[in-house]
Every structure is written in structure tokens, then in C-alpha cells.
Amino acid sequence: MLTLKLINERTEWVIKGLEKKHFSGAKEAIENVLATDKKRREAQTQLDINLSESKKLAAQIGALMKQGKKEEAESIKTEVARLKDTNKALQEAMDRAQQELTTLLCAIPNIPYDIVPEGNGAEDNVVVKMGGMETDLPKDALPHWELAKKYNLIDFDLGVKITGAGFPVYRGKGARLQRALINFFLDEARKSGYEEIMPPTVVNEASGYGTGQLPDKEGQMYHCNLDDFYLIPTAEVPVTNIYRDVILDEKDLPVKNCAYTQCFRREAGSYGKDVRGLNRLHEFSKVELVRIDKPEHSEQSHQEMLAHVEGLLQKLELPYRILRLCGGDMSFTSSICYDFEVYSEAQKRWLEVSSVSNFDTYQANRLKCRYRRTEDKKTELCHTLNGSALALPRIVAAIMENNQTPEGIRMPKCLVPYCGFEMLDDKPC
């Protein structure tokens, strides 16, 4: 969440940034924060004065009792008792204001960086780069859901039987391709200096709050009511929360972690062509990169993460493009975000496969994730960053569709050592 220091010192800039993100009622929200913070500080100031006065009066009582001035001492005791009641009321008022302040701040999104373009939605995102190999498919090219059925790679109907729509069953070479991609992505991350983490896929409320998934304004998380746990929508949640309430040493930054997990998303409101086949699932596999860094180095970290994801797509021989998201299309918590999309030749559309974001201090402030500077030993909030490297479903869809041939689906060279076959088809290995 935004820091009070930032809101107090750069009020108009904050409001302008929230408006760029199309946050309704930005000015009113910030004014409410400032007014509530003022109430909290006024209560704190009066409480400090009263506590100081109580301490002085308590010292006088002992002195008066020694002098035999019992009546005066009793009078001061009455005043101390009155201050005690007043202090209790002030503490309660201060606690209420603090709770209200936290609630208000949690409802305010992060501020986009100046480089983030203006815009309302996906149509206003800016393409900053295109790359990869062009594909030339036959006129009768099939979409991946038909290829999956033709070669017995993915059974969508069986997934519906076992669980419901959006939970496919991978079979044979389809399952081996999943495992190959996961291992390939993890190995590439390890080569780039990321420590592999195997975290839980179920988290508590504090973890969801720490990275900004809670409060769940759009109802996208699966909630286990009995135990008050949440299924993770991404490994970002458990991995970033490793550093909740932690003070890191500057010399240990940047922290670089990667993790493969299953991810769970309700995807409420999704329908039509966007949910066909692997385009949008409720459960899917993903390898995530997470970085914790100091403010002056986080932009470089972000660029390194972007280069890493681009390198994966190049090795997978897929046509891709990189978009800088506009203010209206960014997530609640990000300061800047780049999306990677691969082109599906059979579907004639771009498919998002990765988002790489810098959250500045927004998550770190919730997490209380700080680092201690080497020079003066002072502590500051870290910057947090994360990105998919990569999410599997749409990568699988693009590989299947763009590499289809009359003999089967050609595997990218980088995956052959991992999957053990050159063609994705229904033939045994």
C-alpha cells in the first residue's frame, strides 16, 4: 500500500497518478486518508501530553505523602485517575483511527510510473517490441483444442467429469510436454542466478494481504472457508511472503527466487472465445520469478527480468510481442508492467503468457519488508518485482498451433532433451 509519507509529501502527484490508473474518487480517497491520519496524530499527541503529565503528578504524590500532605496527595490521585480514563479513551480513538486508516489505504491502488502510458484498457497498451519466427501454416490449420483431441494429448471433457470446466487432464506426450516445459523454465532460471523455491500452494490471509491479493475485490481467489486458507493464484504470493516482517542486509540484494507451482483462479466473468481450450483455465502450471531489491537498482532488475522472459520465448521459437501496459489496464498493485504475448497462428490472435511487474514499495509496505543500508545502518522499504517465466497453458497452445505439420507437432529444439521426442503426436516414444 502507499506510504503515508508519500501521500503527505506529494499529495497532488499521488492524486494525479491514481487518476491515471482510472481509480474512481481518487481525490476524495486521499482526503479521507489525510483527515483520518490527522485524527490519529492528534489523539497520539494528546495522549503523549497526558502520559507525561501523569508521570509528573505520580512523582508529586510520593513527595506529598512523605511531607504528610495527605489531602493534597489524594487530590492529585483523583486527577491522575481522571487522566487515566481520558488516556484510555484517547488510545481507543487512536486505535479506531489506525484501523480506519489501514482500511482506507488498502482500498487505494499503487501509483503508476511516469513512463506508463495514458489509457483506459488493452487497446491503449503500447507495443514496444516484436520478435520471434513467423509461421506459415496450411489453410486447414487446427486450433490447439482440436489438435489435443486428434493426438490424445489433453482431455477437456474428462477434466469436466472429474472437476469442472477449466481443469483439463493432460495425457501421454501432452503430460510429458508439461513436465518438459516446467524443467526447462526452472533450469533457465537457475542459470540466471535464481534460487529455486518449492512453496505451499495454500496460504493464510496475512500472506494474501501482504502481496495485495486480499482484500479480493474481484472474487478471483478460491477460499477454503473452514480453515480460512486461500489457494494461490500465483507463486508470487507465497514466495514474496518469505520476506514478510524481514529486514535484509543491503549486501544480500537483489534476492532472486523462482518457483514452479500449480495456480488457481476463479476467472469470474470470463466467457466466449477467451476461455476455449487452454486460453483461460482455473488451474494451471506456472514458473514465477520474484526479486527483492533496493530502490536504486530495481529498474535494472526489471530490465533483467524482461530480458530473461524474452530469451525464453526466443528459445521456444515463438512469435512474440512486448507491451507496456497503460494506466487503465494495469493491476491494482503494480507501478509498471510489461506483458508478453505470443501469436497463435491458428486462432489469429495474441495470447498473453507473462506479466513482468515492478511494485516499487507498495507490496513491501504491506509486508514490512525492509533492508538495512550498509553505510549508515538505516532501514528502508525494499522494492518487489515478479514475472511469469512462464505460464504454461498458452505457451502449450502456441507451440501446438504454430508448429503443426501433417506428421504431427514439431517440438522446439530446446525442449527435445527435456521431453525425449521431436514430434508431439499420439505415437508411443
Binding-site members for L-serine are: 234, 265, 288, 386
Which amino acids are annotated as binding site for ATP, given as ranges? 265-267, 352-355
Place of cell 502527484: 13
What is the phi/psi pair of residue 239, to 5°? -70, -45
Sequence letter at residue 277: G
Q: Residue 156 contacts by C-beta under 8 Å, 6 or more apart in sequence?
A: 145, 148, 168, 169, 277
Runs of H (alpha helix) within 242-354: 298-315
Q: Where are the alpha helices (DSSP H) in 67-168?
A: 70-106, 144-150, 156-162
| Residue 107 identity (one-letter amino acid) | A
Output the DSSP codes for 302-315: HHHHHHHHHHHHHH
Bridge partners, 342 (sequence order) = 320, 351
* 248 torsion bin: left (phi>0), alpha (psi -120 to 50), beta (else): beta
What is the CA angle 249-251-255, rounded to 5?
Answer: 80
**The three cell numbers locating residue 429:** 516414444
CB 368 within 8 A of CB 254: no
Strand ranges inside 21-60, DSSP E:
none
